[in-house]
């Protein structure tokens, strides 16, 4: 398969998702990599295929003294640059291929060896400067192509169907849409019906949401959708990340940030906020995974031009 959007910066993980001295497997554009972090927070990534007899390095183990990964098949050991260790000696030349990473504010980005076509978006830096990191939610591999998943993030008409159960959204009004190349901003008001007491008991965050939710969304194509909401407990910035694992599988997770939130509120609502975000991902996943193959649509809904703007960026890449 042709790589999807070669030269795009992909945010493949947040450091908090990796554990310490533990191999993790990630897949990006049909390639598998092993990625691990040491106790100092340094991150390493190699092609997952062992250059000896092609065992998956991610099934091996990490040596915390040497920052190496050992292959599970014949126990050959490689450092983060892919150099072979034998006894206490290491080769000068790498034989396993390393993956070049850019680590910014605990976010791990890569161009996967392609010539960069877009910079890493400053949107993340702007959020980190103002907000405090709360956690990661909804990490998931979705059975669905990258474009279908991307379009859901730019689709303002799916809330009333897909997210009906959770937020009781009855309508969505987009008051502004501005785009500047690969960046776009949307302002929207979501009208909600009341949640039942049972729903609030299950997910307390629903009880404090107002009837009208006014949100801003900032898009950095293709990896990032940031959703900013003012809630009675504080301001939330929720960053939806997407990257293509394979032609038919897309990885997603949410990075949750908050500001102006007091400690008690954070303690009380942190899990509830993360749980609501994970539910949103579940619902979007369900929508994408159940689609029939795409055909030309016979109906146009309001604000769909925003979605077609994203589709055009994708097809003109």
| CA 47 – CA 183 distance, rounded (Å) | 31
The H or E element containing residue 316 is helix 304-316
Residue 213 binds which of ligand FES, Fe ion, none (CB < 5-8 A, kind-dependent) = none
Longest dimension (CA), the chain: 67
Q: CA 34, CA 25: separation in Å to the nearest integer?
A: 5
Residue number, 22 or 74, with CB nearest to ligand FES: 74
CA 21 from chain centre, in angstroms, equals 22
* CB 91, min distance to ligand FES, A: 14
Partners of 77 in the beta sheet? Answer: 70, 85
Q: Is 55 in the site for ligand FES (CB under 6 A)?
A: yes
Where in 256-285 is the site for Fe ion (CB under 5 A)? 284
What whole-number distance in Å separates Cα of residue 156 and Cα of residue 165? 16
The least CB distance from residue 187 to ligand FES, in Å, is 53
Of these partners, Fe ion, ligand FES, none, which one is at the site of residue 284 (CB under 5 to 8 Å by kind)? Answer: Fe ion
In the complex with Fe ion, the residue whose CB is nearer, 48 or 162, is: 162
**Counting contacts by CB under 6 A, is residue 61 touching ligand FES?**
no
Q: Does residue 218 interact with Fe ion by CB under 5 A? A: no
Find the shortest distance in angstroms from Cβ 47 to ligand FES.
12
Q: Do 141 and 251 touch, CB atoms closer than 8 A?
A: yes
- With CB under 5 A as the rule, give the number of residues binding Fe ion: 1
Give alpha helix (H) positions in 97-196.
Answer: 123-130, 146-153, 159-162, 164-167
Phi (first) and psi of residue 133, to 5 degrees: -70, 130
Query: What residues from 63 to 82 belong to the interface with ligand FES (CB under 6 A)?
Result: 71, 73-74, 76
Per-residue x/- mask for ligand FES, residues 24 to 53, rule CB under 6 A? --------------------------x-xx
- Please give the structure tokens belonging to residue 201: 């008991």
The site for Fe ion (CB under 5 A) is made up of 284
The site for ligand FES (CB under 6 A) is made up of 50, 52-53, 55, 71, 73-74, 76
């Amino acid at each position: 398969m042709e790589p999807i959007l070669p030269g795009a910066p992909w945010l493949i993980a947040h450091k908090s998702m990796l554990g310490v001295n533990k191999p993790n497997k990630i897949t990006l554009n049909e390639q598998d990599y092993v990625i691990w972090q040491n106790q100092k927070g340094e991150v390493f990534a190699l092609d997952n295929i062992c250059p000896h007899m092609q065992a998956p390095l991610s099934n091996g183990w990490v040596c915390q003294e040497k920052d190496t990964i050992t292959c599970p098949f014949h126990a050959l050991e490689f450092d983060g640059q892919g150099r072979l260790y034998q006894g206490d000696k290491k080769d000068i030349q790498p034989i396993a291929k390393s993956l070049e990473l850019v680590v910014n504010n605990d976010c791990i980005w890569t161009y996967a060896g392609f010539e960069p076509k877009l910079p890493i978006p400053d949107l993340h830096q702007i959020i980190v400067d103002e907000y405090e990191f709360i956690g990661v939610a909804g990490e998931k591999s979705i059975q669905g192509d990258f474009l279908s998943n991307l379009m859901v993030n730019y689709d303002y008409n799916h809330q009333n169907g897909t997210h009906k159960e959770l937020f009781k959204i009855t309508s969505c009004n987009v008051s502004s849409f501005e785009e500047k190349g690969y960046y776009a901003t949307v302002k929207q008001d979501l009208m909600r019906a009341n949640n039942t007491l049972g729903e609030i008991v299950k997910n307390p965050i629903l009880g404090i949401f107002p009837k009208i939710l006014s949100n801003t969304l900032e898009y950095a194509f293709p990896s990032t959708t940031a959703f900013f909401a003012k809630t009675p407990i504080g301001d939330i910035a929720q960053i939806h990340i997407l990257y293509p694992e394979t032609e038919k599988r897309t990885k997603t997770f949410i990075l949750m940030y908050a500001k102006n939130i007091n400690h008690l509120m954070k303690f009380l609502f942190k899990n509830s906020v993360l749980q609501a975000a994970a539910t949103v991902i579940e619902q979007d996943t369900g929508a994408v995974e159940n689609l029939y193959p795409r055909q030309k649509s016979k109906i146009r809904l309001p604000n769909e031009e925003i979605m077609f703007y994203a589709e055009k960026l994708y097809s003109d890449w």
